[in-house]
Amino acid sequence: MTQQKPPARAWFITGTDTEIGKTHSTCTLLHAARAQGLTALGMKPVAAGAELVDGERVNEDVAALRAASSFDPGLALLNPWCLASPVAPHIAAEEEGVRITPGPIQDALGVLRQRADVVLVEGVGGFRVPLADGYDSADLATDLALPVILVVGLRLGCINHALLTVEAIERRGLLLAGWIANRIDPHMLRPEQNIDSLRARIPAPLLGVLPWCETRDPAAHAERLRLPD
């Protein structure tokens, strides 16, 4: 009888807001894991905004995670809920007459954790994005029961956004495993002082700092990030 391997280590990736580099950070972490000889997969359970490619709906962020992963297990596992309109997911789902539920996500994650050493689960937007009436991305993180990695987009106001998100994560009883500082504003003043302020206030390790650059190449920045211990 073949013995089933232990499930992969997995983390839930959230951010201080939308458009703060969650996907780039997740892809960079995937490359960091692969550089250690680990088999790594990235999934995005809910995505809003997609184009038809060879008869399949493909979201841009999901395509990036797919490319950064060790292998391609298929879109059905990488992105159980793919919605056409690039709007808030609960609105896109309502327009399509569907309700986002955690069951397909939990099932897909269970399969992926048997096929890899590391699975990174990228959330949608910030930590409290509505997915359905009475259900949001924080509820999803709670249902998945994974430790959380927080991506902080470095721009004016990021300290407040980061600390409010940390508070929300802790209130859910989830473990904040670490955070990533991502330079998204090349004109931000005093970025290092902001990072120092966050390090003094976030009760989790800084996993790395991603620099600002016009061309975001996650493989080129893999050495800047590390997985949580």
Catalytic residue list: 44
Can you name the residues that pair with 178 across neighbouring β-strands?
149
Structure tokens at 228: 């949580």
Helix (H) or strand (E) holding 81: strand 81-83
Structure tokens at 197: 């302020």
Distance CA 111, CA 34 (A): 19
Beta strands across the sheet bearing 206-210: 40-43, 118-122, 9-15, 148-154, 176-183, 206-210
* DSSP per residue, 54-72: TTEEE-HHHHHHHHHSSS-
Q: Check: CB of residue 22 under 8 Å from CB of residue 151.
A: yes
Owner of token pair 């879109």: 75
